[in-house]
């Protein structure tokens, strides 16, 4: 979507246009769901979290940031919601949950089943490595390298100086690479 289209979509959503809100949900559902999947590993929980994020966005749509600042603002809302969700889940575990090692089945209709299986397992492997790095590193990796925010945008979301984001980002990348290396070594050994 062009930036001007996104600006007008945001403006219409702020004005309370239901059609614009529907288009917004369809536009960002994959991204918000992808973000939710990095905080919780079960598909149903990720869908619940993503829905909560959208509901929160809907409730605050009159106060949405303008186009330039919208993405960092949206990720900040999503992050706060995800942190609340994870805390709540720690306190009150669901009565019956079915753990899933294969973190959500990522369907890509442009690829054949074989390529899709390889890509899915690689992503699951990467998600597992992301789950093993420290929380600080994971957040920086999610915002900088997964969601593609700039250093300044990441600093605005996390509420830290840009220099801190740079140093954390370097440490996080190294930590992730070391985790992948360790996991690869373990896999080879087993």
Partner 1 sequence: MTRPECLAFEQAVFGAGDGAVLLERRPDLAEHHAECLSCRRWLEAFTAGTEAAAGVPAFAAGVMARTAATACARARELSASAFDAPLPAVERSLVEAHLEICAGCRAVVAEMVTAMAALPALAEAEPGPWFAARVLGATSRRPAPAREAWRRRWAALVSRPRFAIETAYALTLCLVLVTGNPLSALEWTAARVEPLVERVETPIQAIDVRVRAWRHRTALGADAPKADVPGARTSWSRWIGKSWGALFQAWSGWFSRIVAGLRSLLAEARRWGLELLERARTLATEPHADSARFL
- Interface residues toward partner 1, by CB under 8 A: 18, 21-22, 25-26, 29-31, 33-35, 37-38, 46-47, 50-51, 54-55, 58, 87-88, 90-92, 104, 106-108, 119, 122-123, 126-127, 129-130, 141, 145-148, 151, 166, 169-171, 173-174, 176-178, 180-181, 184
- Cβ nearer to partner 1, comparing 156 with 165: 165
Shortest distance, position 184 Cβ to partner 1, whole Å: 7
Alpha carbon distance 107, 8 (integer Å): 30
- Cβ nearer to partner 1, comparing 15 with 55: 55
Shortest distance, position 156 Cβ to partner 1, whole Å: 17
- Cβ nearer to partner 1, comparing 47 with 65: 47
Shortest distance, position 65 Cβ to partner 1, whole Å: 19
């Amino acid at each position: 979507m062009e930036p001007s289209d996104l600006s007008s979509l945001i403006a219409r959503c702020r004005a309370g246009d239901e059609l614009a809100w529907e288009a917004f949900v369809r536009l960002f559902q994959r991204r918000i769901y992808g973000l939710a999947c990095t905080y919780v590993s079960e598909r149903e929980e990720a869908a619940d979290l993503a829905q909560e994020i959208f509901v929160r966005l809907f409730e605050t749509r009159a106060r949405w940031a303008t186009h330039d600042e919208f993405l960092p603002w949206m990720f900040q809302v999503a992050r706060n919601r995800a942190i609340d969700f994870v805390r709540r889940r720690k306190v009150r575990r669901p009565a019956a949950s079915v753990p899933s090692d294969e973190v959500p089945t990522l369907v890509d209709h442009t690829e054949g089943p074989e390529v899709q299986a390889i890509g899915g397992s690689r992503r699951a492997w990467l998600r597992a490595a992301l789950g093993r790095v420290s929380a600080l590193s994971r957040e920086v990796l999610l915002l900088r390298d997964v969601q593609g925010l700039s250093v300044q945008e990441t600093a605005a979301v996390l509420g830290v100086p840009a220099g801190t984001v740079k140093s954390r980002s370097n440490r996080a990348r190294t930590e992730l690479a070391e985790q992948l290396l360790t996991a690869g070594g373990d896999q080879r050994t087993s």
